[in-house]
Amino acid sequence: MRKENGLKEFFRTTYKTGSPIPYFISIQAAIFIIIHLCDLLVEINVINYPLYDKAVSNLGLPMDFSQFLKQPWSLVTYPFLYTGLFNIVFDCLWLYWMGNIFMSFLNKRQFLTLYLSSFLVGGLLLLALGQIDFLTKGAQSYLFTSSLGLAALVASLTVLVPKMELRLFIFGRVKFVTLAVIFLSLEFLFYIFANRAGAIVYLLSIAWGVLFMKQLQEGNDWSKIFKPRPKNNLRIVHTETKTLTYKSYKADLPNQDVIDEILDKISQSGYESLSSREKEILFKASREEQD
């Protein structure tokens, strides 16, 4: 049997799973590499034009509304812009980790709605708060990185799976809520010193994630506004008496009690202790209703 090419296998296992997470990470990595290559060309005197500075100022979201009107595309590009190596590596790992946990229980449409809406809402709020002089004082005059989306994602998971525990290499089993509070608190402290308006927007992004999940648990799935509606074509058909068959559909949100029981079992005995039915529930929760 011919062995599959390593590059083809990588693309098959990474980009053909239906998950949008690898695409987000790839865009962030590509922009990071390109702007730093531009900076390198300036450093070695190959070019004299400050491409790196221009890229950061044009892709980042400015707090000055008049500047934003000159570059409205920054409302879309700012979540993908990173300037620090540690920052992009850390955030990409968190996006991969938290994103896959989220999609283990919910679907791609719900993930995209929460993740992308947090950037849109957060960006617009930043522009509004940027008109207050006190809030514009800080080390950063631009907003970038995907921290707002991660904040909403992590906060939503604390509502979805509050009893979940994670096994960390050094610390052993740690409650997810504890880990989430530490992560969100450190990010918030950074914004307090770097961008006061960004700190307020960061808190609102956390609230947005909690609100999205609370509404979902109450049966209000905001992501359904992006769900394609079936076309109703008028047809003339012959009426026949048939035995009705009923097809059951999986709800958008899995039963919370069932999820908690499965997570408790994983935390006590590991994933391998799950029955085939329990594994099937987790698998279907991440794969069904993918648009």
Percent of the chain with pLDDT strictly greater than 70: 76
In the chain, CATH 1.20.1540.10 sits at: 20-225
Q: Is the pLDDT of residue 36 over 50?
A: yes
Q: Helix axis angle, 147-160 relative to 85-105, nearest 10°?
A: 30
pLDDT over threshold 60, residue 290: no
The answer, yes or no, to whether residue 239 has pLDDT greater than 80, is no
Angle of helix 108-129 versus helix 196-217 axis, rounded to 10: 150
Quick one: pLDDT at residue 215? Answer: 93
Q: Which residues contact 214 (CB under 8 A, 6 or more apart)?
A: 159
Question: Does residue 37 have a pLDDT over 90?
Answer: yes
pLDDT digits (tens, 9 = 90+) for 46-76: 888 888 999 999 999 998 899 999 999 999 9
- What letter represents residue 232's amino acid? N
Summarised one tens digit per residue, pLDDT across range 190-207 is 998 888 899 999 999 999
pTM equals 0.76
Tell me how many degrees the CA angle 279-285-288 measures, rounded to the nearest 5: 120
CATH numeric code, 20-225: 1.20.1540.10
- The pLDDT of residue 247 is 39
Region 12-40: mean pLDDT is 89
> Residue range 78-91: average pLDDT?
94
Q: Can you give the pLDDT at residue 242? A: 43
As beta bridge partners, residue 174 has 166
Instruction: State the pLDDT at residue 47.
Output: 83
Residues 204-226 pLDDT 10s = 999 999 999 999 988 888 888 87
For residue 143, the SS3 value is strand
Where is 204: in which H helix or E strand? Answer: helix 196-217
Report the range of poorest mean pLDDT among 37-46, 72-81, 161-170.
Answer: 161-170
